[in-house]
């Protein structure tokens, strides 16, 4: 069995490229989707006597998707310093006003620059569309892996969110697992219903630097923790890392992922979608 490192010499042949969207083709769809958001933002803007009141009005919007888009527009126009994840939480509105309010752009200036833009604003709609597409390639990868696995290994079952959804917490599968916050993307059971493998799936589109180090560093901790638990619990448990995309060809990514297998060459496999049938088999899954 070749190691993941040995595939590096012809790495591009083992990468699956996700579909992308062409510019400016997406603009018509983006403007259609986000025009109602811009209209509502303008309405709230006209009825707000200050930027603090504007964010409070946005926080009262009941539809979650609409509220999140309004928060993103607020951040662009009014407060680029405020973390968007913070803006999404209604309970933090007062705290945001206290900590960031003094940096908010004045409401009359916001109104002026907003009115200076066309309706719908193609540039802003394109920016919002990028948020929409974020994570989709990862969802596509997971879905393809689930379908491939079921086709290749019909005797096993695979569980987990096939696209978006809540990760599986290992504590919910193994009550004595030492970390109550260790999520995995999927788990595989044999015919007897016994979990024989767990894993993570990620699409690397374009990564490097600190992002690269954070990702592989987190994987190392995850792999060691799971393998240590399996040995102490005296169970056969394999760890599969599904990684794909052109990001694997950048920097030291391929080498860093290869090092994961060196933690425990018998129990850890790093694969791309094209490696599934070559590197995963029944004997390995059953610990033979």
Q: What is the pLDDT of residues 81-114, one digit of tens each?
A: 888 788 878 888 888 888 888 899 999 999 999 9
pLDDT at 37: 96
Residue 16 in domain: no
Same domain, 146 and 85: no
Let me know the angle formed at the C-alpha of 199 by 197 and 205, rounded to the nearest 5 degrees: 155
- 232 pLDDT higher than 50: yes
pLDDT per residue as tens digits for the range 244-264: 888 888 878 899 899 999 999
Among residues 83, 99, 133, which one ends one of the domains?
Answer: 133
In a domain, 18, yes or no: no
Same domain, 36 and 146: no
The CATH number given to whatever domain includes residue 187 is 3.40.91
Would you say residue 6 lies in a domain?
Answer: no
Q: Are residues 65 and 181 in the same domain?
A: no
Three-state DSSP class for 3? coil
Label residue 73 by pLDDT band (50, 70, 90): very high
Point out the domain boundary residue: 81, 112, 133.
133
Q: Which of 95, 111, 133 is the last residue of a domain?
A: 133
Q: Are residues 151 and 272 in the same domain?
A: yes
* Cα distance between residue 218 and residue 203, in whole Å: 15
Encoding tokens for residue 115? 């009115």
Total residues found in the chain within this entry: 288
Q: What is the CA radius of gyration of the chain?
A: 23
pTM of the model: 0.75
Q: Show the domain range for 147.
A: 135-285
Do residues 129 and 237 share a domain?
no
Shared-domain flag, residues 148 and 259: yes
The model's confidence at residue 125, banded by pLDDT at 50, 70 and 90, is very high
Question: Are 144 and 281 within one domain?
Answer: yes
Number of domains in the chain: 2
């Amino acid at each position: 069995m070749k190691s993941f490192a040995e595939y590096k010499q012809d790495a591009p042949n083992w990468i699956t490229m996700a579909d992308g969207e062409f510019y400016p083709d997406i603009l018509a769809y983006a403007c259609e989707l986000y025009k109602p958001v811009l209209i509502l933002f303008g309405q709230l803007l006209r009825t707000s006597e200050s930027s603090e009141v504007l964010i409070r009005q946005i926080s009262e919007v009941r539809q979650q998707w609409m509220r999140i888009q309004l928060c993103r527009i607020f951040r662009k126009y009014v407060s680029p310093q405020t973390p968007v994840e913070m803006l999404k939480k209604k309970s933090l509105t007062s705290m945001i006003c206290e900590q960031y309010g003094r940096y908010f752009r004045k409401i009359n200036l916001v109104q002026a620059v907003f009115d200076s833009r066309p309706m719908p604003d193609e540039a802003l709609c394109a920016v919002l569309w990028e948020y929409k597409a974020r994570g989709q390639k990862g969802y596509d990868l997971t879905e393809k892996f689930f379908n491939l696995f079921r086709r290749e290994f019909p005797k096993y079952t695979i569980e987990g969110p096939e696209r978006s959804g809540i990760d599986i917490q290992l504590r919910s599968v193994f009550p004595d697992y030492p970390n109550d916050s260790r999520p995995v993307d999927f788990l595989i059971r044999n015919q007897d219903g016994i979990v024989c493998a767990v894993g993570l799936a990620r699409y690397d589109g374009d990564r490097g630097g600190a992002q690269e180090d954070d990702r592989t560093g987190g994987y190392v901790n995850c792999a060691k923790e799971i393998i240590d638990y399996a040995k102490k619990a005296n169970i056969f448990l394999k760890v599969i890392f599904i990684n794909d995309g052109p990001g694997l060809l950048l920097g030291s990514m391929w080498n860093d992922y290869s090092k994961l297998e060196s933690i425990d060459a018998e129990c850890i496999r790093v694969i791309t979608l094209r490696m599934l049938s070559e590197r995963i088999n029944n004997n390995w899954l059953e610990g033979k």
